């Protein structure tokens, strides 16, 4: 069995991860919620590898991570004002917004649908990797489908060793809970996953 390389999430490790991603590989890394495993969003064959590694159902879309809201127009269209308001308030952070995709977002990411989930993570390793790569990352939780999410690098290896190319060990994830997912293509927005931010959304008087 070929084991997954696990390296520290320092400057050298980040440069190595970016190189792997540009070559079509898949890399696990810490985020503010749980460990994610990502692929270059504009390389469909790389995105397809995420499904294989996780044994993920092919009809289950994969969200995108971006560095900040300035990149939204590349991956989302018909962006409603509420999306801009929520991004300004909660990004970077544990809020995934579901919007209409642009033509740059492939069917492999959306499982053939016309929407895509997008968020900007609040974690230095994830942010550094996104800025170094300078493209969105198709990213899902670094675990086998249906299994508990991984909070540490060791938990990632316990499920995905040999199935992914590289693992950046950045220590335990601070959040430990998958993001809140909000569909803003409807009015009012629809909660698809409660996650950690539902109370804050209620405090903002966001109609859900």
Per-residue pLDDT of the chain (208 residues; tens, 9 = 90+): 789 999 999 999 999 999 999 999 999 999 999 999 999 999 999 999 999 999 999 999 999 999 999 999 999 999 999 999 999 999 999 999 999 999 999 999 999 999 999 999 999 999 999 999 999 999 999 999 999 999 999 999 999 999 999 999 999 999 888 899 999 999 889 999 998 998 888 777 666 6
Range of the domain at 104: 5-78+92-179
CATH value at residue 162: 3.90.870.10
β-bridge partners, 37: 28, 140
Decide if 185 is inside a domain: no
Decide if 84 is inside a domain: no
Secondary structure percentages of the chain, helix, strand, coil, to 5: 35, 20, 45
Decide if 173 is inside a domain: yes
Decide if 127 is inside a domain: yes
Decide if 197 is inside a domain: no
Q: What's the structural domain count of the chain?
A: 1
Question: What letter does residue 65 receive in the DSSP assignment?
Answer: E
Q: Of 42, 41, 30, 62, which Cα lies nearest the Cα of 126? A: 30
Decide if 206 is inside a domain: no
Decide if 14 is inside a domain: yes
């Amino acid at each position: 069995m070929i084991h997954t390389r696990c390296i520290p999430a320092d400057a050298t490790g980040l440069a190595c991860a970016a190189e792997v991603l540009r070559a079509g590989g898949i890399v696990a890394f810490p985020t503010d919620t749980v460990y994610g495993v990502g692929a270059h969003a504009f390389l469909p064959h790389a995105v397809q590898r995420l499904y294989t590694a996780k044994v993920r159902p092919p009809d289950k879309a994969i969200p995108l991570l971006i560095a900040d809201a300035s990149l939204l127009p590349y991956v989302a269209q018909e962006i409603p004002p509420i999306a801009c308001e929520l991004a300004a308030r909660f990004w970077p952070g544990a809020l995934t917004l579901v919007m209409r995709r642009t033509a740059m977002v492939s069917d492999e990411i959306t499982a053939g649908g016309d929407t895509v989930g997008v968020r900007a993570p609040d974690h230095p390793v994830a942010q550094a990797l996104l800025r170094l790569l300078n493209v969105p990352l198709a990213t899902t939780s670094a675990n086998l489908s249906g299994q508990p999410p991984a909070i540490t690098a060791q938990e990632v290896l316990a499920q995905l060793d040999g199935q992914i190319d590289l693992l950046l060990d950045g220590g335990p994830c601070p959040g430990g809970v998958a993001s809140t997912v909000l569909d803003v293509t409807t009015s009012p927005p629809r909660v698809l996953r409660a996650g950690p931010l539902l109370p804050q959304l209620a405090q903002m008087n966001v109609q859900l």
